Structure 1
């Protein structure tokens, strides 16, 4: 049976350094951490997780609540969070709330019962007050895609309002005056923020807000085709649509094809998220990049900083960027 002593001899560090590295202690130099884990891999050492937990008063696990276990948003989010915590010899436990308030509450209670060292929460249904209470109960908690002033130090979020503004402004700058918007579920704060950005861009350009040009879709694939048909039937003079995510944009592509309309010619489209498929459909989709990979990394860095009681050096506010491709026609030339 391989021992810590053998690991320390091969890595040429002290046994206490090996122990601290295994427990994710922040004082271990990165070079020594690498030596330790290289030696562990070479020797095939398997530390006793239960003994480690007793010695350190930690479970060496972080939990994560997300809305779904699949899709182009949650998949990369989970992957990059898990990859980052595993580099610190900590495991990530993930569960889904499935957009249900009851299931989200149950999931958080379950994860806390496992005495995890920290929580990463992406909630669609919990109120600000409920999330404030979660942080009060467990200070080693990071909230994703929400900004709550009372617990701002625990929040990592994207500027959705800026993203909506950038998408709409680009359409307006290209000479489109009849710009519609298909939102995500308006029960979600990111949908409402993106819609506010749309309204801000219209106001800046002196264009009156027209509620008839707004329809509510969904961030998943359910029902967006019918929503797009209803919007185009409502006003045939629409020349551009801001879709609040790339799934919605895909539905607009399909409905345009049904009607013999060419994207980037007869109707212009800007999406949001910069999903992988957005650069492979034709014409390639102009969209707003949501730095989901960065959010996953920053979430892990943030929760590890809180768990290890060190200064939290992670990014709270992520900035969206316009990715210009081929789905918008310039009407000014």
Structure 2
């Protein structure tokens, strides 16, 4: 096996210089770096990550737990994280927790057993106490899409209540009073909080929340379509529907069209998240912006700052949502 010493002799530089090139630490002149890289390629040198991690007590690997890999939401979030970590020569191990407490704990323990330097956690079933205890044990972790007061510096989340409020407030402001709601899974914090904001907006307009105008979906497009059919079957009229995410909104729009309803002329639709496909629907989906890529990037920066001491980044631990106006909402006819 080729050693760093052999590379240094071939390139005519010190072993320390070769190490700086390999680990991208310290200042190395570009001409010297090219000499080292050429020597490594000629000799067939491969960096022994295991040996290096034993020496430095760092694996340069970050574990990432998300509920699932389905849909564009988690892809956008992980994409922002991966890009920032890759630029810093760090690696990511991804695991799915499926919103199940037992699975989430098992995945967290599996990543820790692989000596990940830090964890980024989008977990929905484990308790706040469990996460607080991990931090107290010295585990380096950042929680995304969840706020826990005891470890607020370790959290990056969206103000979901405000987002739910903004969506309903927009519909109220353009004249709707009969507003249906397709919720996300109500065992999840973001599902609960977005519905809470919706209720607050109705209350602020003096409109009593009507349980018969709410359908609990599961954040997937199919449940948005099922929600529209269920709401229509109840016979309670509505001129607008707010959906807890864009996937369900897209499903709702399809179901409305299948039933001969025009969007937005007959029924206005608003989503939540502002995922990439929202602007490509016809008409483009009015929605609430959840800057998931930005939050993923901030999670990576948290790790780079707190674990590796690389740079000093500004953090917004609670991100503000904003209304994105497109073509699926209009005043009731």
Q: 1:294 to 1:9 in 2, by over 3 A?
A: farther
Aligned equivalents of 2:46, 2:5: Cα separation in 1: 10
Once residues 229 and 114 of structure 2 are traced to their aligned partners in structure 1, the CA distance between those partners, rounded to angstroms, is: 48
Q: 2:327 and 2:97 mapped to 1: Cα distance?
A: 36
Partner Cα distance (2:9, 2:190) in 1: 49
- Kindly tell me: are residues 137 and 227 of structure 1, through their superposed partners in 2, closer, same or farther at Cα, counting changes over 3 Å? same
Match of 2:321 in 1: 320
- Asked whether the equivalents of residues 163 and 320 of structure 1 are also in contact (C-alpha less than 8 Å), the reply is yes
Match of 1:264 in 2: 264
How many pairs are equivalent?
Answer: 327
> Residue 160 of structure 1 corresponds to which residue in structure 2?
160
> For the structure 1 residues 206 and 106, does the alpha-carbon distance in structure 2 shift closer, same or farther, using more than 3 Å as the test?
same
Check the 8 A contact 2:167/2:323 in 1, yes or no.
Answer: yes
CA RMSD of aligned residues (A): 2.9
* Aligned match of 2:224: 224
DSSP 3-state at the match of 1:74 = helix
CA distance in 1, matches of 2:16, 2:64: 30
- Is 1:194 equivalent to 2:194 in the alignment? yes
Contact 1:271 1:288 in 2 (8 A): yes
Residues 106 and 228 of structure 1, relative CA distance in 2, 3 Å threshold: same
Q: How far has the Cα of 1:59 moved from its partner?
A: 1.2
What is the alpha-carbon distance in structure 1 between the residues aligned to residue 220 and residue 31 of structure 2?
45
2: CA distance, partners of 1:39 / 1:263: 63
Deviation at 1:279, TM superposition (A): 1.4
What is the Cα deviation at residue 6 of structure 1?
6.4
In the TM superposition, what is the alpha-carbon distance from 1:241 to its structure 2 partner? Answer: 0.6
1:274 aligns with 2:270: no
Measure, in 1, the Cα distance between the counterparts of 2:253 and 2:80.
30
| Contact 2:7/2:36, CA 8 A, preserved across alignment | no
Q: Per-residue deviation at 1:233?
A: 2.5
Q: State which drifts further: 131-140 or 79-88.
A: 131-140
| Structure 1 residue 309, shift from structure 2 partner | 5.2
Task: Quote how far apart the aligned CAs of 1:330 are.
Answer: 2.1
| TM, length-normalised to structure 2 | 0.88
For 1:36-185, list aligned pairs within 5 A. 44=41, 46-185=46-185
* Structure 1: gaps of 5 or more residues: none
| Cα distance change of structure 1 residues 222 and 109 upon mapping to structure 2, 3 Å threshold | farther
Instruction: Report deviation, 1:243.
Output: 0.4
- Give the Cα separation in 1 of the matches to 2:110 and 2:64: 11
Native 8 Å contact 1:139 1:306 kept in 2: no
Q: Quick check: 1:23–1:52 contact (8 Å CA) kept in 2?
A: no
1:304 matched to 2:304 = yes
Return 273-282 or 174-183, whichever deviates more. 273-282
Residue 73 of structure 1 aligns to a residue whose secondary structure is helix
Q: Which runs of 5+ in 2 are unaligned?
A: none
